[in-house]
């Protein structure tokens, strides 16, 4: 297996173009598992850890742009005030060691429906910056993730980063169900972003991709204030939007039920503080 370690972003994009089969790697928390289990045998690994600009985040264009190589730990420590939903989700990722290594870019690259960072990105309406030697494009995250572990990245493209809008007065929540109190893959999760006149939602780990619950969003946007009945209705609409299956981590029926509970609770927290 060839090991490519470009020192600059330009060289990384050139390497990617020259080696379309190369598997990009940063923290390796997903990639190394795949390699160790022999589920993937790419001819080359493209290590991006030397590309320093990928580890930066900046406030720009009314939002926060996070480089693909920013770790979960840094999101928690450095962006918790600006992006509370993403920080809450980052806290639930793996163990401290995994949060130190794993990156938002890696979560996007894996495009797993159970990726903990994805629901907050969907709920907020984030955009993924992808780049190749041909140029750059900004893709809505909902169009970026196209299926279970599949995304819209072309053979010669790399994830440069992700941009999330900052909205005044935004109340963000993230809640995740796992059968252990830490270090667990989501049975299901729910992200919520409520700002003036806009409600964004996303269901995690209960469908082939993260799913926005559009009807629930429209319902919540029409609410004047919190009530238990409204919370239940919102929960039911979120549960209906899910597309869960029975698997080794939980049943479809439980996922649907749990999502209705998470949706109801998080809406109350977002609306009532």
Partner 1 sequence: MSTLTEVANGIGVSVRRPDGIPKVKGEFAYSSDMWADGMLWGATLRSPHPRARVLGIEIAAALAVPGVHAVLTHADVPGRKTYGLEHHDQPVLAFDEVRYQGEPVAVVAADHPETARYAASKIEVAYEELEPLVDPEYALSDESPRLHPGGNLLRHVYIEHGPEPGEADVVVSGEYEVGMQDQAFLGPESGLAIPAEDGGVDLFIATQWLHVDRDQVAACLDLPIDKVRFTLAGVGGAFGGREDVSMQAHACLLALHTGRPVKMVYGREESFFGHVHRHPARMRYEHAATRDGKLAWIRARILLDGGAYASSSGAVVSNAASFALGPYEVPSARIDSYVVYTDNPPCGAMRGFGAVQTCFAHEAQMDKLAAALELDPVELRRRNAMTTGTSMPTGAPINCPAPVEELLRSVAERPLPEGDSGVPGGIANVTRGEGVVRGVGYAIGFKNVGFSEGFDDYSTARVRISEVRGEPLVEVHTAACEVGQGLVTVMAQIARTELNVENVLVLPADTQVGSAGSSSASRQTHMTGGAVQAACVAVREEWERLGAIGAGIEATREYHHRPTAALDARGQGDAHVTFAFAAHRAVVDVDVELGLVRVVEIATAQDVGKALNPLAVEGQIEGGIAQGLGLALMEEIQVVDGLVRNASFTDYLIPTILDMPPVELDVLELGDPDSPYGLRGIGEPPTISSTPAVVAAVRAATGRELRRVPLKPDDMIGLCGS
Judged by beta carbon, residue 12 or residue 258, the one nearer partner 1 is 258
Min CB(29)–partner 1 separation in Å: 12
Confirm or reject binding of residue 45 to partner 1 (CB under 8 A): no
Q: Alpha-carbon distance 162 to 142, whole Å?
A: 12
Confirm or reject binding of residue 273 to partner 1 (CB under 8 A): no
Judged by beta carbon, residue 11 or residue 254, the one nearer partner 1 is 254
Judged by beta carbon, residue 133 or residue 252, the one nearer partner 1 is 252
Confirm or reject binding of residue 181 to partner 1 (CB under 8 A): yes
Interacting positions 79-118 with partner 1 (CB under 8 A): 88, 91-92
Residue 64 phi, psi (nearest 5): -115, 125
Interaction mask 154-173, partner 1, x per CB under 8 A: -------------------x
Confirm or reject binding of residue 239 to partner 1 (CB under 8 A): no
Bridge partners, 65 (sequence order): 58, 163
Q: Which of 16, 101, 176, 212 forms a contact with partner 1 (CB under 8 A)?
A: 176
Confirm or reject binding of residue 254 to partner 1 (CB under 8 A): yes
Of the candidates 73, 118, 67, the one whose C-alpha atom is nearest the C-alpha of residue 94 is 73
Q: Taking contact as CB under 8 A, which single stretch among the options 24-32, 97-105, 141-149, 255-263 is the one that binds partner 1?
A: 255-263
Q: Which of 68, 128, 262, 267 forms a contact with partner 1 (CB under 8 A)?
A: 262
Helix 84-91 and helix 72-79: axis angle, to 10°?
A: 140
Interacting positions 8-37 with partner 1 (CB under 8 A): 36-37
- According to the 3-state scheme, what is the secondary structure of the chain? CEEECCCCHHHHHHHHHHCCCCEEECCCCCHHHHHHCCCCCCCEEEECCCCHHHHCEEEECCEEEEECCCEHHHHHHHHCCCCHHHHHHHHCCCCHHHHHHCEHHHHHHHCCCCCCCHHHHHHHCCEEEEEECCEEEEEEHHHHEEECCEECCCCCCEEEEEEEECCCCCEEEEEEECCCCCCCCCCEEEEEEEECCEEEEEEECCCCCCECCHHHHHHHHCCCCCCHHHHHHHHHHHHHHCCCCCECCECHHHHHHHHHHHHHHHHHHHHHC
Q: Taking contact as CB under 8 A, which single stretch among the options 135-143, 145-153, 175-183, 199-207 is the one that binds partner 1?
A: 175-183
Judged by beta carbon, residue 50 or residue 265, the one nearer partner 1 is 265
Confirm or reject binding of residue 149 to partner 1 (CB under 8 A): no
Q: Taking contact as CB under 8 A, which single stretch among the options 4-12, 140-148, 179-187, 222-230 is the one that binds partner 1?
A: 179-187
Judged by beta carbon, residue 17 or residue 240, the one nearer partner 1 is 240
Residues found near partner 1 in the complex (CB under 8 A): 36-38, 88, 91-92, 173-185, 187, 248-251, 253-254, 257-258, 261-262, 265, 269
């Amino acid at each position: 297996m060839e090991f490519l370690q470009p020192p600059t972003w330009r060289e990384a994009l050139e390497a990617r173009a020259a080696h379309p089969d190369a598997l990009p790697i940063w923290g390796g928390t997903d990639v190394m598992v795949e390699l160790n289990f022999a589920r993937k045998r790419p001819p080359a690994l493209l290590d991006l850890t030397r590309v320093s600009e990928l580890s930066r985040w900046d406030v720009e264009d009314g939002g926060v742009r996070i480089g693909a190589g920013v770790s979960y730990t840094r999101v928690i420590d450095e962006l918790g005030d600006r992006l509370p939903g993403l920080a809450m989700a980052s806290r639930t990722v793996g163990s401290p060691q995994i949060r130190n290594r794993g990156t938002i870019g890696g979560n996007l690259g894996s495009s797993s429906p159970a990726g903990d960072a994805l629901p907050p990105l969907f709920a907020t309406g984030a955009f993924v910056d992808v780049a190749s030697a041909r140029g750059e494009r900004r893709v809505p995250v909902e169009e970026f993730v196209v299926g279970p572990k599949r995304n819209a990245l072309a053979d010669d493209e790399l994830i440069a980063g992700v941009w999330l809008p900052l909205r005044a007065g935004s109340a963000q929540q993230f809640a995740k169900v796992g059968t252990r109190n830490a270090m667990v893959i989501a049975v299901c999760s729910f992200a919520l972003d409520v700002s003036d006149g806009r409600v964004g939602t996303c269901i995690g780990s209960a469908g082939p991709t993260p799913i926005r619950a559009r009807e629930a969003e429209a319902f919540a946007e029409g609410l004047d204030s919190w009530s238990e009945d409204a919370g239940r209705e919102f929960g039911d609409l979120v549960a209906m939007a899910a597309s869960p299956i029975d698997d080794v981590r939980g049943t479809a029926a439980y996922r649907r039920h749990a999502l209705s509970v998470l949706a109801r609770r998080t809406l109350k927290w977002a609306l009532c503080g």
